[in-house]
Amino acid sequence: MHQTVQNLIQIKEEIKEEIIKNNIGDYEPNVIAVSKTFKIEHISHLIDFGHFHYGENKVQEALEKWSNIKQNNKKIKLHMLGKLQSNKVKFAVKIFDYIHSVDSKKIAQKIADEESKVNKKIKIFIQVNLGNEIQKSGINIDHTRELLDFCKSMKLEVLGLMCLPPFDEDPEDYFKELKKLNDSLELKEISMGMSNDYIKAIKYCSTFLRIGSSIFGKRN
Ligand SMILES: *Cc1c(COP(=O)(O)O)cnc(C)c1O
């Protein structure tokens, strides 16, 4: 069995154990295998294994890597995790099924425009900047509800909130805060937890874990 497949199986075991440990019933998080920078030859083992959710952070890279594969395998779901520029939205809507980085009305409006042109619905996460100065992406916490309402008025399908805590801090307080905000907005899904902290994200019932290096190995 290929190393990436072994890694995914082990991660899923750890997730199960953590769910039992925390006594969370009726909850099964999705694992997005974050394949950015890796060549399709390295990713294909997981595809053959039957894993469906993959994450990328650049539109161009996603188009080049996934266009053919997605045409032949309709079960593959592709997640946009990186900052989205408005001139790239048209292509993002073409290739991605989920966008986790919506953080402005401008981007939301653009996605809605492109969706109506191609008659496709993207599943959306609103990226929230939980108050850290260094981190530039994400909507300010105080403006999250306003952006959510705007997205709804545009008929966008918002699943929940996403966060990317600063690397050098304990993510737990961030996860706790995002979960609270997500619940208060009555959103069902939540996108948080990466290779280093997905175990902690389970405690706060993240439903989409974005795991890259623990599956595919170190990135250059
Ligand atoms: C790269 C990336 C990940 C995965 O990071 P790992 O530490 O390799 O698991 C998750 N989320 C976002 C937004 C990313 O850009």
From 8, 11, 15, 34, mutation site for ligand 1 pocket: most ligand atoms within 8 A of C-beta: 34
| Average of per-residue pLDDT values in the chain | 96
User: Is the CB of 59 inside a 6 Å radius of any atom of ligand 1?
Assistant: no
The answer to whether residue 22 sits within a structural domain is no
Say which range, 23-27, 63-67, 69-73, has the weakest mean pLDDT: 23-27
Backbone angles phi, psi at 186, to 5 degrees: 55, 40
The answer to whether residue 89 sits within a structural domain is yes
The answer to whether residue 62 sits within a structural domain is yes
The answer to whether residue 128 sits within a structural domain is yes
Say which range, 20-24, 32-36, 103-107, 206-210, has the weakest mean pLDDT: 20-24
* Single pTM value for the model: 0.97
Q: What angle do CA 164, 169, 170 make, to 5 degrees?
A: 90
From the CA of 58, how far away is ligand 1's center (Å)?
A: 12
Residue whose CA is closest, atom 6 of ligand 1? 212
Give pLDDT, residue 132: 62
From the CA of 48, how far away is ligand 1's center (Å)?
A: 22
The answer to whether residue 21 sits within a structural domain is no
Instruction: Using alpha carbons, select from 122, 107, 191 the residue that is nearest to residue 156.
Output: 122
Say which residues have a Cβ less than 8 Å from residue 81's Cβ, sequence separation at least 6. 32, 34, 36, 55, 56, 57, 100, 101, 210
Give pLDDT, residue 104: 97
CB atoms within 10 A of CB 101: 23
Q: Which helix (H) or strand (E) holds 56?
A: strand 53-56
Torsion sign over Cα 171, 128, 179, 28: negative
What's the structural domain count of the chain?
A: 1
The atom of ligand 1 lying closest to the CA of 100 is 13
124-140 pLDDT, tens digit per residue, is 999 999 876 565 789 99
User: Is the CB of 62 inside a 6 Å radius of any atom of ligand 1?
Assistant: no
The answer to whether residue 67 sits within a structural domain is yes
Q: Which domain holds residue 145?
A: 3-12+28-216
C-alpha span between 209 and 199 (Å, rounded): 9
User: For the stretch 143-163, what's the b/e string if a residue is b when 16 or more beta carbons lie within 10 angstroms of its beta carbon?
Assistant: bbeebbebbeebebebbbbbb
From the CA of 183, how far away is ligand 1's center (Å)?
A: 24
Going by pLDDT thresholds of 50, 70 and 90, the confidence category of residue 120 is very high
CB 194 within 8 A of CB 176: no
From the CA of 194, how far away is ligand 1's center (Å)?
A: 6
Query: Max CA-CA distance within the chain?
Result: 48
The answer to whether residue 91 sits within a structural domain is yes
User: Is the CB of 210 inside a 6 Å radius of any atom of ligand 1?
Assistant: yes
Q: At what angle do helices 40-49 and 3-21 cross, to 10 degrees?
A: 50
Instruction: Using alpha carbons, select from 186, 181, 192, 168 the residue that is nearest to residue 141.
Output: 181
CB atoms within 10 A of CB 26: 5
Give pLDDT, residue 135: 58
The atom of ligand 1 lying closest to the CA of 196 is 7
User: Is the CB of 36 inside a 6 Å radius of any atom of ligand 1?
Assistant: yes
The answer to whether residue 142 sits within a structural domain is yes
Give pLDDT, residue 36: 98
From the CA of 216, how far away is ligand 1's center (Å)?
A: 11
Instruction: Using alpha carbons, select from 23, 191, 171 the residue that is nearest to residue 99.
Output: 191
User: Is the CB of 195 inside a 6 Å radius of any atom of ligand 1?
Assistant: yes
CB 166 within 8 A of CB 132: yes
Give pLDDT, residue 133: 59
Looking up residue 173, the CATH number of its domain turns out to be: 3.20.20.10
